[in-house]
């Protein structure tokens, strides 16, 4: 199950890193999303406390719930392991990993151009903030005309 969580984390990590190269503010949203996902994963509370309602079904669809319940069973000797939801968790994990690789392959073509523009703009703004005048005009000219890239 460590491999399961590793593949899931890798998939989401690739998706998020690919998207944040273009949308830099996405990192703020990711922090908020991780906090929400933490509450939607039964780590502190066992899933058996929820009864048989809609909330339990929603939590079992979470791809992290099945590995957490398996770890709980391995460590504490008690936990709810539902094979159908474990299989669903693996399917979601594989889909996230494949989708992440597909997005990365698509973004990879423009990744370096985005990073070069970001670095040049950052250097230009940093230089202006610190009062650099020598070479700043040349750098700005190269950025605006596209020579730098």
Contact predicate 64/8, CB 8 Å: yes
**pLDDT category, 120, cuts 50, 70, 90?**
low
- pLDDT of 99 over the 90 cut: yes
- pLDDT of 98 over the 90 cut: yes
Per-residue pLDDT tens digits for 78-97: 877 889 989 999 999 999 99
Q: How many residues are recorded in the chain?
A: 149
pTM over 0.75: no
Residue 131 CA to residue 78 CA, distance in Å, equals 64
Site of tokens 């890239």 = 149
Counts for the chain of helices (H) and strands (E), in that order:
6, 0
Average pLDDT in the chain: 80
Residue 24 CA to residue 61 CA, distance in Å, equals 29
What is the predicted pLDDT for the residue at 105?
86
For the residues 128-142, what does the mean pLDDT come to? 55
What is the predicted pLDDT for the residue at 95?
96
What is the predicted pLDDT for the residue at 12?
93
Q: Classify residue 46 by its DSSP letter.
A: -
């Amino acid at each position: 199950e460590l491999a399961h969580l590793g593949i899931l984390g890798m998939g989401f990590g690739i998706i998020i890193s690919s998207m944040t190269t273009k949308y830099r503010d996405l990192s703020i949203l990711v922090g908020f999303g991780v906090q929400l996902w933490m509450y939607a994963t039964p780590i502190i509370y066992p899933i058996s406390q929820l009864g048989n309602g809609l909330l339990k079904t929603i939590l079992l669809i979470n791809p992290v719930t099945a590995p957490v319940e398996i770890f709980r069973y391995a460590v504490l000797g008690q936990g709810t392991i539902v094979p159908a939801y474990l299989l669903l968790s693996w399917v979601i994990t594989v889909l996230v990993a494949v989708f992440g690789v597909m997005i990365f392959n698509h973004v990879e073509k423009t990744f370096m151009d985005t990073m070069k523009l970001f670095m040049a703009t950052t250097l230009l703004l940093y230089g202006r903030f610190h009062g650099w005048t020598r070479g700043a005009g040349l750098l700005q000219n190269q950025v605006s005309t596209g020579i730098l890239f």
